[in-house]
Structure 1
Amino acid sequence: MLEITDLRAGYGGTEVLRGLTLSVGKGEIVAVLGSNGVGKTTLNKVLSGVQPARSGAIRFNGQDIFGASAKTVVSAGLIHVPEGRKIFPNLTILENLELGGYCRPKSARRTNLDKVFSIFPRLKERTTQLAGTMSGGEQQMLAIGRGLMGEPKLLILDEPSLGLSPLLVEEMFTLIRRLSDDGLPIMLVEQNVVQSLELASRAYILENGTVTISGDAAKLKDDPELRRAYLGL
């Protein structure tokens, strides 16, 4: 579904992504792990079409999307749920969801809303509530629901567990498993190493803008090199 080859990007004279290569296949949950400052956010911005890359290749679902606009990327079905949720606090839950489907036909809106409400019944109960008055966990549900309104063929989830209580983190990872079981490929960009590796089929560990370790997630859990690169042990 997604193939990234030798990707380089940065800001001004600073190179952040330094020849990064990774892929996500159909039906997979692929974890992209790393601490702050290793290039995860830059990678997501480049894939979403809001930050230009300097070189490399990006193919999504058989199409070359290197240098494509954000609208083109979204229209192709590559949907990014950003870190920190980035909901519109002064709009209602329903209005936030409807904005998620701006690239899709209006005729599909009701079907997509029904799908989101079946996954998040709490959102259906409060469609007229202002999004900014929701709890952090509810806002994360709304952000993912808004992403689903875009009819994703692949969903990028950027730090979905950030700022949530342990109980809500468990709930969030259960939801991600459910979405995957329904056939949606997911690129999970996280700092939560343990639970991400338990959930994912494969994983990439980023360090200094490139992949330092990759492979089967179950095997990586016990890899001493992972403990060194990520935990400094």
Structure 2
Amino acid sequence: MLSVEGLVAGYGGTEILRGLTMTVEPGEIVAVLGSNGVGKTTLNKVLSGIVPAGAGQVRFAGEVITGASPQAIVDLGLIHVPEGRKIFPNMTVRENLVLGSYRRARGNRAANLERVFETFPRLRERDRQSAGTLSGGEQQMLAIGRGLMGEPRLLILDEPSLGLSPLLVEEMFQLIRRLNADGLAIMLVEQNVMQSLDVASRAFILENGIFALHGQASELAAAPDLRRAYLGM
């Protein structure tokens, strides 16, 4: 579904991504893991068309999208839920959700809105409430719900557990499992290493702009190098 080959990108004269190669297959959860500042968000922005690639190629659903506009990429069904939620705080929950279908799936808006409310009952309860007055966990639900409104073929989740309580983090990973069980391919970009490896089938460990490790998630979870780097073991 998604194929990245030799991807190089950065800002100005600073190279952040240094030749990344990876794939995401249909119906798969792939985790991209790493600490702050290693290039995770830059990768997401390149895939979404926000930051241009300096070299390499990105294909999605058989089409080359390197250099495509963000609008064209959304139209194809690659939808990015950004780090920090990026909701519109002065708009209502419902208005935020409706914006998720602005480019894609507009004809299915009512059905998709009902589906989001079934997935997130708390959003139904607050559908006329200003989004900025929601709790952090509710805002994350809203950001994901907005992404689902566009009927994604691949959903990129950028740090969905960031800033949440341990209980809400657990709920977030359970949600990711449920969405994937319905057939949705997910690229999970996280600092939460072990819980991400628990839900993903494959994973890529990003360090200083390159993939230092990659493979089956279960194997990486037991890898001594990863456990030393992230768990101090």
TM-score normalised by L of structure 1:
0.98
CA contact (8 A) 1:78 1:155 kept: yes
Given that 1:48 and 1:78 are in contact with CA atoms closer than 8 Å, whether structure 2 keeps it comes out as: yes
Q: Which moved more, 1:167-176 or 1:109-118?
A: 109-118
| CA distance in 2: counterparts of 1:68 and 1:104, whole angstroms | 16
C-alpha separation in 1, matches of 2:162 and 2:106: 32
**Quick one: distance in 2 between partners of 1:101 and 1:7?**
29
| C-alpha contact 2:105 2:150 (8 A) present in aligned 1 | no
Deviation at 1:115, TM superposition (A): 1.0
- How far off is 1:230 after superposition? 4.0
Matched, 1:98 2:98: yes
Residues 121-151 of structure 1: CA deviation (Å, up to 9, x unaligned): 1111111100000000000000000000111
- In 2, Cα distance between equivalents of 1:105 and 1:194: 34
Is it true that 1:34 corresponds to 2:28 in the alignment? no
Q: In terms of mean alpha carbon deviation, does 101-110 or 20-29 score higher? A: 101-110
Task: Calculate the aligned-residue CA RMSD, in Å.
Answer: 1.1
1:135-173 deviation line (CA, Å, top 9, x unaligned): 000000000000001110000000000000000000000
Counterpart for residue 169 of structure 1:
169
Taking only the aligned residue pairs, the percentage that are identical comes to 70
- CA distance in structure 1 between the aligned counterparts of 2:110 and 2:225, rounded to whole angstroms: 48
Hey, what does 1:71 align to over in structure 2? 71
**Secondary structure of residue in 2 paired with 1:117:** helix
Q: Which AA in structure 2 matches 1:112?
A: N
Structure 2, unaligned runs of 5 or more: none
Q: Secondary structure at the match of 2:143?
A: helix
- Do the aligned residues in 2 keep the contact of 1:81 with 1:144 (CA within 8 Å)? yes
SS in 1 for 2:163: coil
Instruction: In structure 1, list runs of 5 or more residues that go unmatched.
Output: none
Please say if residues 75 and 103 of structure 1, whose CA atoms lie closer than 8 Å, have aligned partners that are also in contact: yes
Q: Flag as ranges the 4+ runs of structure 1 deviating above 6 A.
A: none
Partners of 1:152 and 1:205 in 2: CA distance? 24
- Distance change in 2, residues 1:11/1:232 (3 Å): farther
Cα pair 2:81 2:147 within 8 Å, conserved: yes
- Is the counterpart of residue 3 in structure 1 residue 17 in structure 2? no
TM-score by length of 2: 0.98
Q: Does 1:158 align with 2:166?
A: no
**Equivalent in the alignment of 2:214:** 214
**Where do residues 1-233 of structure 1 align in structure 2 (5 Å cutoff)?**
1-230=1-230
CA contact (8 A) 2:105 2:151 kept: no
